[in-house]
Amino acid sequence: MSIEESNIANLPTKYGEFRIKAYKDGNQEHLAIMSQDFEQIDAPYVRIHSECLTGDTLGSLKCDCRNQLELSLQFIAKNGGLVIYHRQEGRNIGLLNKVNAYALQDLGRNTIEANIELGFAEDERDYRVVKYIFENLALKKLKLITNNPAKLKYVESLGIEIVERIPAIIKANKYNELYLSTKKEKMGHLI
């Protein structure tokens, strides 16, 4: 795996002041968004946030993505740590297919059924670049901000100690109730 790295740059935001570093893996580019004191923290708070253009940028109410991202950035700005912005849109099926999955969800499919009907697994994400970022930033132990048991298992499989799991619980709305219940009941999310 050949990954290109950027330099580290400052990123002042409405959540706080961060430093960022980009990683390019093939045609996907990912971000490490670090608190100013990241290197001094023994077990930093870490969020692996999967890209969601419709939620993160457009404010879609069909998911909880933007709220989880904002919660994580606010928390990291206050408590120190890292957000990995993992750019694998729609669980790595891409934006076009994600919109097609949305259309199937409009017809009553849940998020898993829609992906499968389109010929994908329920989750197509590849976390190899996350491993690379962890190694690049010399992470040995962390406090993981997640509801996703697959992310917990993946991080543990890398030999990284998870000191604590911090839930990222977001209040449901009428547009994302099915999505959240599917994540809980079918994917085992800890919500």
The answer to whether 85 and 133 are in contact (CB under 8 A) is no
pLDDT at 35 over 80: yes
In a domain, 5, yes or no: no
At residue 50, does pLDDT exceed 80?
yes
Determine which of 42-51, 148-157, 170-179 has the lowest per-residue pLDDT on average: 170-179
Q: Are residues 134 and 72 in the same domain?
A: yes
Number of domains in the chain: 2
Over 80: is that where the pLDDT of 183 sits?
A: no
Q: Is residue 7 part of a domain?
A: no
Which residues carry a binding-site annotation for GTP? 47-51, 68, 89-91, 111, 146, 151
pTM of the full predicted structure? 0.92
**Known binding positions for Zn(2+):** 52, 63, 65
pLDDT at residue 190, as a whole number: 72
Task: Give the pLDDT of residue 23.
Answer: 98
Domain housing 107? 89-124
Looking at the structure, tell me whether residues 138 and 167 fall in a common domain: yes
Where does the pLDDT of residue 160 fall: very low under 50, low under 70, confident under 90, or very high at 90 and above?
A: very high
> Is 8 among the domain residues?
no
146 within a domain of the structure (yes/no): yes
Give, as one character, the DSSP assignment of residue 55.
I
Q: Tell me the catalytic residues.
A: 123, 125
Residues 70 and 134 in one domain: yes
Q: For residue 3, is it within any domain?
A: no
pLDDT 10s digits, 77-122: 999 999 999 999 999 999 999 999 999 999 999 999 999 999 999 9
Residue 6 within a domain? no
In a domain, 97, yes or no: yes
Q: Is the same domain home to 164 and 138?
A: yes
Within a 13 Å sphere around the CA of 163, how many CA atoms are in the beta-carbon half?
11
Q: Assess whether 120 and 138 both reside in one domain.
A: no
- In this prediction, residue 22 carries a pLDDT of 98
Q: What is the model's pLDDT at position 178?
A: 63
Same domain, 109 and 142: no
Percent of the chain with pLDDT over 70: 96
* CATH number of residue 79's parent domain: 3.40.50.10990
Structure token pair of residue 10: 């400052």
Same domain, 182 and 98: no
Q: Report the SS3 class of residue 165.
A: strand
Counting Cα atoms < 13 Å in the Cβ hemisphere of 73 gives 22
Residues 70, 153 within the same domain: yes
Q: Are residues 101 and 175 in the same domain?
A: no
User: Alpha carbon of 5 to those of 48, 86, 87, 100, 136: distances in Å?
Assistant: 18, 14, 15, 33, 10
Is 164 domain-assigned? yes
Q: What is the pLDDT of residue 179?
A: 67
